Structure 1
Amino acid sequence: MEWPIEARVTLLGDVYPFSEDEQEWAHKQYIAKHPHGLSEQWGNFHYFRMQNISDIYFIGGFGTVAWVDVKEYEALQPDKIAIDGGEHNLKELNAIFSKPLRELLASESEVDDAALISIDSKGIDVRVRQGVVWFLFFDFLAKVL
Structure 2
Amino acid sequence: MEWPIEARVTLLGDVYPLSEDEQEWAHKQYIAKHPHGLSEQWGNFHYFRMQNISDIYFIGGFGTVAWVDVKEYEALQPDKIAIDGGEHNLKELNAIFSKPLRELLASESEVDDAALISIDSKGIDVRVRQGVVWFLFFDFLAKVL
Superposition TM-score, scaled by structure 2 size: 0.93
Query: Residue 108 of structure 1: CA displacement?
Result: 2.1
CA distance in 1, matches of 2:131, 2:48: 42
- CA distance 1:38–1:130, shift in 2 (3 Å): farther
The answer to whether the Cα contact below 8 Å between 2:123 and 2:140 also exists between their aligned partners in 1 is yes
CA distance in 2, matches of 1:103, 1:82: 27
CA distance in 1, matches of 2:4, 2:39: 24
Q: Deviating runs (4+, > 6 A) in structure 1?
A: none
Q: 1:19-78: CA deviations, max 9, x gaps?
A: 111111111101101111122232222111001100000111101111000001111111
Query: Residue 2 of structure 1: CA displacement?
Result: 4.1
Query: Residue 100 of structure 1: CA displacement?
Result: 0.4
- CA distance 1:130–1:42, shift in 2 (3 Å): farther
Extract unaligned runs of 5+ from structure 1: none
The answer to whether the Cα contact below 8 Å between 2:59 and 2:65 also exists between their aligned partners in 1 is yes
Superposition TM-score, scaled by structure 1 size: 0.93
Counterpart secondary structure, 1:11: strand
CA distance in 2, matches of 1:3, 1:25: 36
Counterpart secondary structure, 1:32: helix
CA distance in 2, matches of 1:30, 1:3: 28
| Superposed CA RMSD | 1.4
- CA distance 1:110–1:42, shift in 2 (3 Å): farther
What does 1:1-145 align with in structure 2 at a 5 Å threshold? 2-145=2-145
Query: Residue 107 of structure 1: CA displacement?
Result: 1.7
Percent identical among aligned pairs is 99
The answer to whether the Cα contact below 8 Å between 2:82 and 2:120 also exists between their aligned partners in 1 is yes
CA distance in 1, matches of 2:42, 2:110: 46
Query: Residue 81 of structure 1: CA displacement?
Result: 1.1
- CA distance 1:32–1:67, shift in 2 (3 Å): same
CA distance in 2, matches of 1:93, 1:4: 18
Farther-moved stretch of structure 1 (82-91 vs 22-31): 82-91
CA distance in 2, matches of 1:136, 1:36: 33
Query: Residue 109 of structure 1: CA displacement?
Result: 2.2
- CA distance 1:41–1:108, shift in 2 (3 Å): farther
Counterpart secondary structure, 1:72: helix
